A and B are shown apart, each in its own frame.
Chain A
Amino acid sequence: MAVLTIRDALNQALREELIRDENVFIMGEEVAEYDGAYKVTRGLWKEFGDKRVVDTPITELGFAAVGVGAAMAGLRPVIEFMTWNFSVLAADQIINHAAAMHYMSGGQFKVPIVFRGPNGSAYQVSSQHSHALEAMYANFPGLKVVMPSTAADAKGLLKSAIRDDNPVLFMEQERMYGLKSDVPEDEDFLIPLGVADVKREGTDCTIVARSMTVPLAIQAAEKAQEEFGVSVEVIDPRTIKPLDIDTIVNSVKKTNRLVVAEESHAFASVGAEISHTVMEHAFDYLDAPVKRISTAETPIPYAKNLEAAALPDVAKILAAVKEVCYL
C-alpha cells in the first residue's frame, strides 16, 4: 500500500498499462511534453516516447475520431479531454461512432477506447467549463461511464477501463486530483466496472453519492451521527453505467430512506434514474420520498459565492438527510 493522490494513482494506472500492453497509447492536448494540463500524464512521454504518448492540436473531434479508428484497428487508445466540457465537440465520435460501432458492424469491430478527463465544476471556471455530463453520456447504449472518488478506486477502475473491450468514459474531478488515500501497488489491482462500494455503513438513511459528492456525503453522514444520532450509509456506485442497483436497493431496504447527492443538474439526471429504479424495486420499503441534492438549475456562475450556492455542499446534503428522516 502507498498513500497516493488521485492524480498519481491515475498516473500509476496509465504507466502500468502502458508497460503491460504495447497496444495502449495516450493521446490528447498537452498530454506529452507538458505532462498533461492537470499533470495526470506526468513523466509518461519521457518514459514511453512519441509513439505511446501523443500531443494533439486543439481538435477534439479530430483526435477522438483518430482514437476510435485506432481502437477499431486493434489498439487501445486512452484519449484525454482536457476537461469533459470539450468532449461535446467530439460528441459525434463518442455517441455515433464509438458507442454504436460494435452493434452496427454486427460485432466485427470492437472499440476498446477510454476517454478520460475531469468532469464537473472546478474553481470559478464558469458556465462553459463546469459541466457534469455523466447523465447525458450514460443515456446512450454502448457507453460505459465511470466516476471514481478515491485514489484506489481511480487506479483500479482506470486499469479495468483500459482492459475493457468497450468504449469507457472515465470522468475525474479537478477538485479531487489532490485527494490522498491508500492505493494497492499490485500491477493487477483491478476494480471491476459495475460494482458499487459502501463507503460508510449505516442503518437509518442511505446517501448515494458519486465523484465530488462522496466526500461531502461522508462529512454529512458524520455530522448526522454527531448531531442527531442518525446512522447514515454512503454508497458510491463508482460506475454510473452499468449501475449496480442491487447494492443501492439492498441498502434502501435496510434504511428505508434515500438521498441522492450529485454534481449535475437535477433534470433527467443519474439521481433521477436511481430514484426511479429504487421506487421500482423497493417501493414497499420507503418511509419517505427520495430526496435529491443536485446542482441548481442555472448555468454555473463565475462569482465565487454564487458558484458555491449553486453546487451541492455538506449542509444541503445534511438537510436532505434530516428531511427524509422526518427530523
Chain B
Amino acid sequence: MAEKFLMPKLSPTMEEGQIARWVKNEGDSFEANESLAEVDTDKATMEMTALGGGTLLKILKGEGETAALGEPIAIIGKAGEDISGLLSEIGSNGEAAAAASTGGAATAAKAAPEPKAETRAVASVPLAKPRSATPSPQSDSGRMIVSPIAARMAADNGIDLRSLAGSGPNGRIIKRDIEEALESKTQRPETKVQKPFTPSTIVGASPYRDENASKMRQIIASRLVESIGPIPTFYLTVEIEMDNTLATRKQINANLDDDAKISVNDIIVKAAAMSLMKHEWVNASYQDKTVRFYEQADIGVAVAIDEGLITPVVRGANLKGIAEISAEIKDLAGKAKAKKLQPEEYTGATFSISNLGMMGIKEFTAIINPPEGAIIAVGGANPTPVVRDGEIVVRSIMNVTMSCDHRVIDGATGAKFLQTFKQMLESPAMMLL
C-alpha cells in the first residue's frame, strides 16, 4: 500500500530539514538501507535511508525545499499504485502545515505529528560513511575503491588512503600505489603522510553523578529564575598575564612540524579542563531539583562556520595532552566546516570556551549553552603596561569573562575557578601536576 514518507528526525535538535538532493528519482525502486535523499539539518547534511524496500512514487518536496519534522516529503509504495487519494489528503493538510510553519519553528515542530506506525521508519546515516547498495564507478558517490591487499598494507603502514590517487581501473587504489607511497615516504621522511586523527581512549561523554539540590540551592534557583530568566547568568572577568604561556607555546612549537603546532587556544582548553577538575561545581549542570556533577571535562569549543556557529566537543580534555587536544580540535573544526560533524561530536559538553582573541576582540561575554553551567569568553592577549614590583612593565594581558549559571555557580565558586585557571596560564608548568 502506498504511504506517505515523512521528514525524519536526523539530528537531536532538528525541527525541520531541507532536501539537499534526491538520490532516487520518481519511479526508482529502492532496497532497505539504500539512500533516498540527502537532507540538510540544522547541524549537518545527513543521508536519509530507507528501512524497507519499495518504489519512490512521488516527490512532494523538491531539492531546496524545507519540511518540518513529520511533514510528508514523498510517497512510497509499489510501482504503479494509485496515489491520488493520498495526494488529495496531503493537499488539504499541506495548507494547514504551511500555516503552522509560519508560526515559528517551535509551533511547526509541535504541529508536526510524530511519525506514525504506518510510516516506514527511516534511519539516518551520516554522509561520512556513505553506503550505497550498488556502488557504481560512474556515480560520483565519493566511495573509495581499494584492493583488499592495498587496504591492508595502508593500515599496517599508517598510510592515509585519502592521500593517494589510485592507478587501477575506476581509480582503484592497488598494491603498487601503496608501494610507491611507502617508497616516497622512506625517501623523503620530511614529507610525512598526514596520519588520520585517532581519537584517544576517551570517546564517550563524561560520566556524571546526580545529587539532590539542597533546599537552599532550590530556593536560590527559583528566586533567580523568577528575577532574570530561565538561566540566571552573572559574569566574572579576570585579567591573565599570558607571557609564560606564550613562551611555553613557542618552546613547544619549535620542536613540532608545521601541521602539528599548537595554538594558545589549545593551551587554554587544557588549562580550563584541569581547573574544572579542581572545581566540581563549575563542571556541573543544574537539572530539575538535582545538580549533575560531571567526572571529566568535555570541553565545547565554539567554531564559526559559514552558516553560524557550532561547538564541537573535546571529550575528556583533562586527561589528554595538549598535542592530542590540538589535533582533535583541528579534526573537529575541519569536520565542522565541512558540515560532517556527527551529533555526538557537538552535543553534551560539560563546559564551553569561546575565543575571539584572534579577531581583535579584547573582552566580551558569551552566552551559556544549556545545560552547561558556564562558558568562558576569551579575548586577545595584548601587550599592556602593568605595574610589577613598583615598576611599569609591558606584559601580554588576556581578559577572560566567565558567564555562570547562578543556579549552580555562585560568585565565590566562579571566582575560585578563575583563580586556578589564571594560575595555570600564568604558570603553565602547573598543568604538569
Interfacial residues, chain A to chain B (CB-CB below 8 A): 256, 283-288, 326
Contacts of A326 in B (CB 8 A): 167-169, 174, 176
- Would you give the shortest CB distance from A252 to chain B, in whole angstroms? 10
Decide if A283 touches B176 in the complex (CB within 8 Å). no
- Across the A-B interface, the 5 shortest Cβ-Cβ residue pairs: A287-B175, A287-B147, A287-B149, A256-B149, A284-B148
A326 and B151 alpha carbons, distance in the complex (Å): 17
Contacts of A287 in B (CB 8 A): 147-150, 174-175
A313 and B393 alpha carbons, distance in the complex (Å): 89
- Would you give the shortest CB distance from B214 to chain A, in whole angstroms? 60
Q: Which residue of B lies closest to A256 (CB)?
A: B149
Contacts of A286 in B (CB 8 A): 147-149
B110 at the interface (CB under 8 A from A): no
- Would you give the shortest CB distance from B148 to chain A, in whole angstroms? 5
B223 at the interface (CB under 8 A from A): no
Contacts of A285 in B (CB 8 A): 148-149, 152
Contacts of B174 in A (CB 8 A): 287-288, 326
Q: Which residue of B lies closest to A289 (CB)?
A: B147
Decide if A283 touches B148 in the complex (CB within 8 Å). yes
Contacts of A283 in B (CB 8 A): 148
A256 and B179 alpha carbons, distance in the complex (Å): 13
- Would you give the shortest CB distance from B283 to chain A, in whole angstroms? 45
A227 and B175 alpha carbons, distance in the complex (Å): 21
Size category of the B interface is 10 to 19
Most buried by A among B148, B149, B175: B149
Most buried by B among A283, A285, A326: A326
Most buried by B among A285, A287, A326: A287
Contacts of B167 in A (CB 8 A): 326
A284-B152 in contact given A326-B167, A326-B168 (Cβ < 8 Å)? yes
Q: List 22 A-B contacts (CB under 8 A).
A: A256-B149, A256-B175, A283-B148, A284-B148, A284-B151, A284-B152, A285-B148, A285-B149, A285-B152, A286-B147, A286-B148, A286-B149, A287-B148, A287-B149, A287-B150, A288-B168, A288-B174, A326-B167, A326-B168, A326-B169, A326-B174, A326-B176
A286 and B151 alpha carbons, distance in the complex (Å): 10
| Cβ contacts B173-187/A at 8 Å (1 or 0 each) | 011100000000000
- Would you give the shortest CB distance from B171 to chain A, in whole angstroms? 12
Contacts of A256 in B (CB 8 A): 149, 175
A285 and B148 alpha carbons, distance in the complex (Å): 6
- Would you give the shortest CB distance from A283 to chain B, in whole angstroms? 5
Q: Which residue of A lies closest to B178 (CB)?
A: A287
Q: Which residue of B lies closest to A286 (CB)?
A: B148
Contacts of B148 in A (CB 8 A): 283-287
Contacts of B169 in A (CB 8 A): 326
- Would you give the shortest CB distance from A284 to chain B, in whole angstroms? 5
A285 and B175 alpha carbons, distance in the complex (Å): 10
Contacts of B168 in A (CB 8 A): 288, 326
- Would you give the shortest CB distance from B350 to chain A, in whole angstroms? 41
- Would you give the shortest CB distance from A93 to chain B, in whole angstroms? 44
A283 and B149 alpha carbons, distance in the complex (Å): 8
A284 and B154 alpha carbons, distance in the complex (Å): 12
A288 and B148 alpha carbons, distance in the complex (Å): 8
A286 and B150 alpha carbons, distance in the complex (Å): 8
- Would you give the shortest CB distance from A282 to chain B, in whole angstroms? 9
Extra contacts besides A284-B148, A326-B176 (15): CB < 8 Å: A284-B149, A284-B151, A284-B152, A285-B148, A285-B149, A286-B148, A286-B149, A287-B148, A287-B149, A287-B150, A287-B174, A287-B175, A288-B147, A326-B169, A326-B174
Contacts of B151 in A (CB 8 A): 284
- Would you give the shortest CB distance from A231 to chain B, in whole angstroms? 14
A285 and B153 alpha carbons, distance in the complex (Å): 9
A283 and B169 alpha carbons, distance in the complex (Å): 19
Contacts of B152 in A (CB 8 A): 284-285
| Cβ contacts B137-155/A at 8 Å (1 or 0 each) | 0000000000111111000
Q: Which residue of A lies closest to B155 (CB)?
A: A284
- Would you give the shortest CB distance from B164 to chain A, in whole angstroms? 14
Contacts of A284 in B (CB 8 A): 148-149, 151-152
- Would you give the shortest CB distance from B174 to chain A, in whole angstroms? 5
Contacts of B149 in A (CB 8 A): 256, 284-287
Most buried by A among B148, B150, B168: B148
- Would you give the shortest CB distance from A222 to chain B, in whole angstroms? 23
A77 and B30 alpha carbons, distance in the complex (Å): 60
Contacts of B150 in A (CB 8 A): 287
Contacts of A288 in B (CB 8 A): 147, 168, 174
Q: Which residue of A lies closest to B173 (CB)?
A: A287
- Would you give the shortest CB distance from B205 to chain A, in whole angstroms? 34
A279 and B149 alpha carbons, distance in the complex (Å): 12
A256 and B149 alpha carbons, distance in the complex (Å): 7
- Would you give the shortest CB distance from A323 to chain B, in whole angstroms? 9
A288 and B167 alpha carbons, distance in the complex (Å): 12
- Would you give the shortest CB distance from A73 to chain B, in whole angstroms? 53
- Would you give the shortest CB distance from A203 to chain B, in whole angstroms? 12
A288 and B147 alpha carbons, distance in the complex (Å): 6
| Cβ contacts B368-396/A at 8 Å (1 or 0 each) | 00000000000000000000000000000
Most buried by A among B147, B152, B168, B176: B147
- Would you give the shortest CB distance from A257 to chain B, in whole angstroms? 9
Most buried by B among A283, A285, A288: A288
A36 and B307 alpha carbons, distance in the complex (Å): 88
- Would you give the shortest CB distance from A228 to chain B, in whole angstroms? 13
Q: Which residue of A lies closest to B168 (CB)?
A: A326
A97 and B138 alpha carbons, distance in the complex (Å): 53
Contacts of B176 in A (CB 8 A): 326
Contacts of B175 in A (CB 8 A): 256, 287
A285 and B147 alpha carbons, distance in the complex (Å): 9
Q: Which residue of A lies closest to B151 (CB)?
A: A284
- Would you give the shortest CB distance from A254 to chain B, in whole angstroms? 11
- Would you give the shortest CB distance from A148 to chain B, in whole angstroms? 33
- Would you give the shortest CB distance from A255 to chain B, in whole angstroms? 10
A325 and B376 alpha carbons, distance in the complex (Å): 59
- Would you give the shortest CB distance from A102 to chain B, in whole angstroms? 41
